[in-house]
Structure 1
């Protein structure tokens, strides 16, 4: 059965985390009980597959849409070459407490589970309490030997670089970058479709089950980019209305921030779907067959064959494609 393309919205998969809270309720999201750290907004992964809540495909999982409509919807570049899945995972994160200090492997690392990808990602800071910070990379001159000794001696924090953050900051985090979100930030995350994380340090705190969470010291030491991973950060609060600012660029995603005041005419291409994360404001999304209201915290997947579309209102939008 043929389905005319339209913007897809999904029911988020909510994940309880020891460091989570209730901040995602600010976006009108329905949260289960507990400390909710992650909302998987668009996902096609064994650990979380989102289902469409609007239009003709309502009730279908992203994996089912992939199987049924393939490159027509996702575009010629819109697949992982390694496992055939949707190539990105889109999350909203509520960091009510510090996350573990961690690092992700690249696609070539031999220790990856079968069918799993490496993980390059980017963060856009939606909200940050005064004094909020993140851990972002190693201090200059830290080698594997230095870091291994620091881990054994319980002084790993001496090796890590802390960076203050504010709403509107953007961080590119290639595989191999040591990092940790810290308490007081709400983040939109665009990443490779992977759930592989190696923990270096977790503050000696118990997990949700009351036991210490597993650390992955050897894998972490193996995959860290000691000479630099290519990580980059930028302020984006001066983005001019009507323009699109590139805030992260990798082989896996191109992410831009747009500020809409009025109307913006756009279009998809046959090469890639478009993901829209509404970072702030409200408005509407129109295309040839209809329109949808837009509100902060909502995420939409625009099929590659949608064609022309229009954003209208007063909006801050994070737009992602596969380059």
Structure 2
């Protein structure tokens, strides 16, 4: 079978903090407060199926089993569980998310086969004054944080950052963080669904009950000294050049602006994922062409080879290091 860019049917997740903003990308949402669209995923809690071309209807797990490293690349599998190593999401945050932290791959209390979660956010849109909680204040220790939680003043220990469209946040495992109300986000992360909540504003869940907190696990996995978290503005000086937003052991994410034709190439080591942020255009390869628009996510097989991005648009590119 000849390789081609795969577009998947998203898996949508209702969240107490979600809304309907993902409809602006032409996505058909189920009823409810939809906080997450899992756009490309191979996880027990959500495996996406291909929506286009010859492989339409096949799950990403089935493609992994049938085509293996030919499609996903020699690095294209988690060493821990053999699955596709990344999870790509779009997030609609109409309310504040819980204050949370993610473990790394080595935390002994992870469920069997589950990965840790290093991730990054690219802000697609933000309402004026939108905030993000991003790390602990300098010098906060485990003991001080535990005391603040006990006294219901955890927010005194946390950094808050104003978020604007185009901002990029790198969030290694161990970083305390929370998206605030009014942001629309593209998230690239390890293939994991492990989240430990430190604080949730005494909020009730979709079932009308208080949402579970995970204080002991959170305190165990936080990087108190320096998690390695960084954030940046991502203004581009020219088209046809990649700006690195995040470089981790698990993924590299870059931003580029397409004006006209931009010849590119996949490598045998890794698939490439493109998220279309703004504008319109197309992906061309030896055997075809796909028109693309904002909010769409494409998985380009490692064996696709030469391809080009065309049109006038801003895109993210993610691949394995």
The equivalent residue for 1:261 is: 259
Partner of 2:51: 53
Determine the C-alpha separation between the residues in 1 that align with 2:146 and 2:133: 18
Mapped to 2, the partners of 1:240 and 1:185 lie a distance apart of 26
- Post-superposition Cα deviations, 1:21-52, rounded to whole Å, max 9, x if no partner, equal 01101111110110000000000000000000
Instruction: Give matches, 1:1-323, under 5 Å.
Output: 3-323=1-321
3-state SS, counterpart of residue 260 of structure 1: strand
Residue 9 of structure 1 aligns to a residue whose secondary structure is strand
| 5+ long unaligned stretches in structure 1 | none
Contact 1:104–1:120, Cα closer than 8 Å, also in 2 = yes
State the distance in 2 between where 1:180 and 1:240 align.
32
What are the Cα deviations for residues 227-285 of structure 1, in whole angstroms up to 9, with x where unaligned? Answer: 01000111002342111100000000000001011110000000000000001110010
Aligned-partner Cα distance in 1 for 2:207–2:226? 36
Runs of 4+ more than 6 Å apart: none
Give me the whole-angstrom Cα distance separating, in 2, the residues matched to 1:301 and 1:6.
Answer: 9
CA distance in 1, matches of 2:64, 2:237: 34
Counterpart Cα distance in 2 of 1:194 and 1:279:
24
Counterparts of 1:140 and 1:246, CA distance in 2: 26
Counting matched residue pairs gives: 321
Distance, in Å, in 2 between the alignment partners of 1:174 and 1:119 is 7
Specify every segment of 5 or more residues in structure 2 that has no aligned partner in the other structure, as ranges: none
Q: What do you get for the CA RMSD once the two structures are aligned? A: 0.5
* Separation in structure 2 between the aligned mates of residue 70 and residue 207 of structure 1, nearest angstrom: 39
SS of match in other structure, 2:74: coil
Contact kept, 8 Å, 1:52 with 1:61, in 2: the verdict is: yes
CA contact (8 A) 1:279 1:317 kept: yes
Deviation at 1:187, TM superposition (A): 0.2
TM-score, length-scaled by structure 1: 0.99
Q: Once the two structures are superposed, what CA deviation does each residue of 1:173-225 show, in whole Å capped at 9, x if it has no partner?
A: 00000000000000000000000000000000100000001000000000000
Distance 1:35 1:240 in 2: 38
Distance change >3 Å, CA 130–CA 42, structure 1 → 2: same
**C-alpha distance in 2, partners of 1:237/1:205?**
37
Determine if contact 1:239/1:245 at 8 Å carries over to the other structure. Answer: no
What SS does the aligned partner of 2:303 have?
coil
Q: Distance in 1 between matches of 2:209 and 2:83?
A: 33
